[in-house]
Amino acid sequence: MNGDMMERSADRQVLIDKNAPGTQEKVLSILERMPPGKLLDAPAGEGALSQRLMETHDVVPVDIDENYFKLSGLPFRKVDLDQPLPFEDGSFHYIACIEGIEHLENPFLCIREFSRVLKRGGSLILTTPNIMSVKSRTRFFFYSYHDFFRFIKPAEDFRHNLPEYEHEHINPMTFMELRYAMQKAGFIIAELFTNRFVKAKRWSIFYPIIKKLVISLTGKKYPGDPFMVSREILEGEILIIHAKKNS
């Protein structure tokens, strides 16, 4: 084993997937069906996803905090996803945006920029907390906040050793908003997945009734929509969207 491979092996021992359970595995399973290509990992975080893709793809990891990125062997670029991306049009075959869009002040700009730097026919795989699950809707009804968005504080209050604040989630987006932003940017949603299915245990007695009511009302509001009453939206914890840029 040469020095570079030993360094990568050491990296694998320390980098931990900090996404919601099963999210990274589902994203990888989607990408495994596609041929190798140039991939933008945005935001890359510590580099856990980039690490698992670097042997099969030409990975470009970007994030706003260069001190947080821990993976060696890949050229990291500091990028603010709330600003235009520093890449030429059509630079990438794939973009992975894993639990990043909910951190941004301007997600519509980010999605437009993703479309610009993707090649025609390229794939965007985007994940975000699912605020449209029956569980999250019930939480919002009683407490006025969605799952994963309990703590929204000014920037100076983030990262003060309380794990509830570590996510820095500031922008909950419904599936309809994401689909609208993607369609305006030239994407077509090809597939919808989730990391795992969850239910509102606290309201377990009423859960089947609430779910049935949501399905009935939503079905009338969006007749024939292939996603709105899917189990992925009604009971998925994290939405995992595979969108393709129009060719």
Q: What are the structural domains, with CATH classification, of the chain?
A: 3-130+167-198+237-245 (3.40.50.150)
User: In angstroms, rounded to a whole number, what is the distance separating the alpha carbons of residues 92 and 78?
Assistant: 17
Q: How far is CA 14 from each of CA 7, 71, 72, 152, 166, rounded to the nearest angstrom?
A: 11, 9, 11, 30, 19
Per-residue model confidence as pLDDT tens digits over 166-218: 457 889 999 999 999 999 999 999 999 999 999 877 777 888 898 999 999 99
Per-residue model confidence as pLDDT tens digits over 100-119: 999 999 999 999 999 999 99
- Res 162 pLDDT > 70: no
pLDDT confidence bin for 151, thresholds 50/70/90: low
DSSP tag of 194: E
Q: Would you call 155 helix, strand, or coil by DSSP? A: helix
Alpha helices in the chain (DSSP H): 3-14, 23-31, 48-53, 107-117, 134-143, 175-184, 207-221, 231-235
Q: What is the pTM of this model?
A: 0.87
* Helix or strand holding residue 38 (H, E): strand 38-41
One-letter amino acid for residue 154 of the chain: P
Per-residue model confidence as pLDDT tens digits over 63-89: 998 888 999 889 999 999 999 999 999
